[in-house]
Amino acid sequence: MNTKHLLHPELHPIAEAVPAFKFTRDNLDQFRNARLSSAVLGDAEASGVTREEVVINSTAARGGTHKMSCLLYRPKNESSNSAYLHIHGGGYVGGRKEYADLMNTSISRKLGITVLAVGYRLAPEHPVPTPLDDCYSALAWLHDQAEQLGIESCRVAIGGESAGGGLAAALAIRARDAGKYPVCHQHLTYPMLDHRTGTPEHFGDPLVGEFVWTRESNQFGWSCYLGSHPAQAPYVPAMVADMKGLPSAWIFTVSLDLFRDENIAYAQRLLAAGVDTELVVMPGACHGFQLLPNTSLGKRYVEAHIEALGRALKSV
C-alpha cells in the first residue's frame, strides 16, 4: 500500500534517501557500512562537553568477559549528579554508538548530565543474550563508577531508538528483576518491543511500515537477534508478564512507524500497572524520520526528547 500521501511533505525525500533495505545475512555488511560517513565524531569540546572512550568489561550471564568500547560524555564546567545510558538503534543487526554523537553531546550539554553510549555487540554474530548482557554491564559500570563520576545512583536513566529502545526496555526489566542497579526512567523512541509485529498472524495496520523499516526487515532483525533462544522477556519486552515496578517511561512513536501500535500497547500496559508513562504519537512521520536533516519535525523531536528527559531526571 502506498502511504506517501500520509507522510509530512518535509519527509517525502526520506523515501528516496533511506530506501527500505532487503536484508539477507550475506548483505549485512552493506547495511552496516551504508552510514559510515555519519560515524565521524563532532567537536564535543566546542560544545562544552568532554568525550572519551571508556573500555568496559562486559560480563556474560553464561560466563566470560568482553572488552566493550563505549563513549562517555560529561559537561566541562558543571558537576553532574545524573546519568543517561544511551543504546543505539539498528534493528539489532546494525548501527553504531558514534551515530548518536551529536545528540548525546547535546543532551550532556543542555541537561548538564553524564551520558554513556554503549557499543554493544550485534546479531546475528552475537544473538541473545549477548546484546543485553553488554547493556547490563554498561549499567553496572555506571553504578560502580557513580562516586567517581559524581552521579547519584538513584538518578540513572536509560534509553534508545528502535532496537536501542527495545534493549532499553529489556534492560529496565532485567534491572528491576535483579534488584542491584536502579534505573529511574526509560526514554524510548519508537522502541522495537515485539517479535510478532509484521508476521502474517500479526500483520497489523496496513498503513504502517512502508518506509525505512518494513515487516520483512523486522522479521529478519528479530530472527537474527533471538537465534535459537525462546521469544521471552526480558529479551522481548512485550512478553513480560508483570509491568509493576518498572521505571517511569517516555515513549515517543510516530503515525506511520511499523512499531506504532506495539508502542501504544506497551504504554497502555505500563499505565495499567501504575507506572508513570508519557506517550507521544507524532503525526505524519515514519521510522528514522529524524535522520533527515533540518526538518521541523526533527527539531520538534529533539526538543521534546531533551525536555522530557530533563524533566524525568529532575523529578527523582
Rounded mean pLDDT, 173-197: 98
- Which residue in the block uniquely carries the three cell numbers 527500505? 20
Range with lowest mean pLDDT among 63-72, 155-164, 281-290: 63-72
pLDDT of residue 277 exceeding 90, the answer is yes
Chain segment 40-85, per-residue pLDDT in tens: 899 999 999 999 999 999 987 667 789 999 999 999 987 789 999 9
Task: Give the pLDDT of residue 64.
Answer: 79
Is the Cβ–Cβ distance between 80 and 113 less than 8 Å?
Answer: yes
Is the Cβ–Cβ distance between 198 and 170 less than 8 Å?
Answer: no
Task: List b or e across 163-188, with b for residues whose CB sees 16 or more CB atoms inside 10 angstroms.
Answer: bbbbbbbbbbbbbbeeeebbbbbbbb
Percent of the chain with pLDDT over 90: 88
pLDDT of residue 148 exceeding 90, the answer is yes
Is the Cβ–Cβ distance between 302 and 290 less than 8 Å?
Answer: yes
Task: Give the pLDDT of residue 36.
Answer: 82
3-state secondary structure of 252: strand
Task: Give the pLDDT of residue 61.
Answer: 65
Chain segment 12-37, per-residue pLDDT in tens: 998 777 767 789 999 999 999 987 87
Chain segment 253-266, per-residue pLDDT in tens: 999 999 999 999 99
The Cα 27–Cα 2 span in angstroms is 26
Rounded mean pLDDT, 286-300: 94
Chain segment 213-251, per-residue pLDDT in tens: 999 999 999 999 999 999 999 999 999 999 999 999 999
Task: Tell whether pTM > 0.85.
Answer: yes
Q: What is the mean pLDDT of the chain?
A: 95
pLDDT of residue 88 exceeding 90, the answer is yes
Task: Give the pLDDT of residue 34.
Answer: 83
Rounded to an integer, what is the distance from CA 184 to the centroid of its chain?
16
List the CATH number of the domain containing 220.
3.40.50.1820
Domain count within the chain = 1
* Residues of the domain holding 31: 4-314
